Structure 1
Amino acid sequence: MNRIFVRTMATIAKKPPISVFGVEGRYVSALYSAASQKNQLEATEKSLREFLKLLAKPKIADFVVSSLIPCNEKAKLLREVGKQAGMPDTAANFLGIVAENGRLKMLRRIINMFIGVMVAHRNEALCEVITAEPLDEATRKTLLEVLKKFVKPGQNILLTEKVKLRVIGGMVVGIEDKVIDMTIARKVLKYTQLLKIGIL
């Protein structure tokens, strides 16, 4: 990685709360350290989450992978875009450095890894629940109480709710690396498979 990047973004290195590896991990470590020093961790995460949405747009994606635009021009443009969008200087400079070093193809992975580091920084446990209908407050409260048994003591549960009609009823709960499928659709599939092989 560019030594200037290491010197400017990680003068006093502060390690991420979880281990990160590879080229992406080195960028994430430097970004975490730089944002920590400037008290810009939350603002940096928020701006990069928004930028991640832009990367899904075809024109932006083409710009990122294009070899026709010199790296220094990409870096200059991204810094300017970052400043105009109100990004903290740590985030805008980070985008410029990644571009200068020709690593924009890794940008999505780097940002996602940084978001994972920030989740650990806040001592959060990511949880996603998928239901056929929106959860009511009583069900949500009960679910959160049950989920506390699956996380480390003191961890905060960050719950994301999605509604998908295909689950029919019940819910799918994903927490950390565990997935629990309690949907009616899953039960129907199970019994259909048993009927096919003649067990029922």
Structure 2
Amino acid sequence: MLSRATSRLAVRSFAKKAAPKKAAAASSASDLAHAPPIKLFGVHARYANATYSAASASKSLPKVEAELLAIKATAEKDAAFSSFLSDPTVAPAAKEAQINTLFGSKMSDITVNLMSALAGNARLGETTKVVDCFSELMKASRGEVDAVITSAAPLSKAVADQVTAALKGKVGDKKVVLSMVVDPNIMGGLQVQIGDEFVDLSTASRIDAVSRAINGPALSEL
């Protein structure tokens, strides 16, 4: 189960009693050693941060990651499960009991505790967002950065390799996790999303720029 120090971070935010001051001081070094690799903020991040710290302390990060990704995949494919997660008519206590029955004997204590906490706090409908935050922490811990290449048609291996090499040169020692997306609406060229940076080199964007120039104030005033 999650430690009391971890609970204070969010996963067991409904816990009533704080840890004794001496215990908190004694655990501070351990908390620092198992802190998330990057700082994420917001409600979903608080659950993810706390879960990461607990999983790190119990040396179960890969297992918890696999379990949470499996839960997310099920939520995205199984309409009944997705409906259960988001159903506001079921009382939090009842959902928490159902979560413990559903996952209690199948998944790690860390994962079950997170899902129980989300249920108890009426946030099960936000499970996938919490999992996304946890995935972001795991990628940061592995030195990975996401990159999405959008093209109007599938890229040849040679072109894909050139783009990948260019991206690797941009991110330094980090590992590029590349995804390819085909979108005929961009007409031609490429759109590149790497981390928080977006570069639009598509034909559609160039046509839009020309259109704006033609219809801009300078010409409309003639």
Fold match by TM threshold 0.5: yes
Answer yes or no: is 1:191 the counterpart of 2:210: yes
Any conservation in 1 of the 2:87–2:125 contact (CA below 8 Å)?
no
Answer yes or no: is 1:64 the counterpart of 2:64: no
Structure 2, unmatched stretches of 5+, are 1-12, 20-26
Q: Could you report, residue by residue, the CA deviation over 1:28-51 in whole angstroms, capped at 9, with x for unpaired residues?
A: 222112222333322322332332
Residue 174 of structure 2: aligned partner: 155
Answer yes or no: is 1:164 the counterpart of 2:183: yes
Query: Secondary structure in 2 aligned to 1:3?
Result: coil
Residue 115 of structure 2: aligned partner: 95
Structure 1, unmatched stretches of 5+, are none
Q: After TM superposition, give the deviation of residue 58 of structure 1 in Å.
A: 5.5
Residue 5 of structure 2: aligned partner: none
Residue 179 of structure 1: aligned partner: 198
- Give the distance between the partners of 2:44 and 2:187, measured in 1 at CA: 40
Q: Aligned ranges for residues 8-19 of structure 1 at < 5 Å?
A: 13=31, 14-19=34-39
Residue 144 of structure 2: aligned partner: 124
Q: After TM superposition, give the deviation of residue 69 of structure 1 in Å.
A: 1.8
Query: Secondary structure in 2 aligned to 1:182?
Result: strand
- Give the distance between the partners of 2:196 and 2:42, measured in 1 at CA: 21
Matched letter for residue 57 of structure 2: Q
What fraction of aligned residue pairs are identical, expressed as a percent? 24
Answer yes or no: is 1:2 the counterpart of 2:17: no
Matched letter for residue 164 of structure 1: D
TM-score with structure 2 setting the length = 0.74
Q: Could you report, residue by residue, the CA deviation over 1:88-107 in whole angstroms, capped at 9, with x for unpaired residues?
A: 44223321222123332443
Q: After TM superposition, give the deviation of residue 195 of structure 1 in Å.
A: 2.9
- Give the distance between the partners of 2:188 and 2:44, measured in 1 at CA: 40
Structure 1 stretch 110-119 or stretch 51-60: which is displaced more? 51-60
Q: After TM superposition, give the deviation of residue 22 of structure 1 in Å.
A: 4.0
- Give the distance between the partners of 1:20 and 1:183, measured in 2 at CA: 31
Residue 115 of structure 1: aligned partner: 135
- Give the distance between the partners of 2:120 and 2:148, measured in 1 at CA: 36
Which protein shows a greater Rg? Answer: 2
Q: After TM superposition, give the deviation of residue 117 of structure 1 in Å.
A: 0.9
Q: After TM superposition, give the deviation of residue 68 of structure 1 in Å.
A: 3.0
- Give the distance between the partners of 2:63 and 2:149, measured in 1 at CA: 27
TM-score with structure 1 setting the length = 0.81
Pick aligned residue for 2:153 from 127, 130, 133 = 133
Structure 1 stretch 57-66 or stretch 97-106: which is displaced more? 57-66
Q: After TM superposition, give the deviation of residue 171 of structure 1 in Å.
A: 0.7
Any conservation in 1 of the 2:64–2:111 contact (CA below 8 Å)?
yes
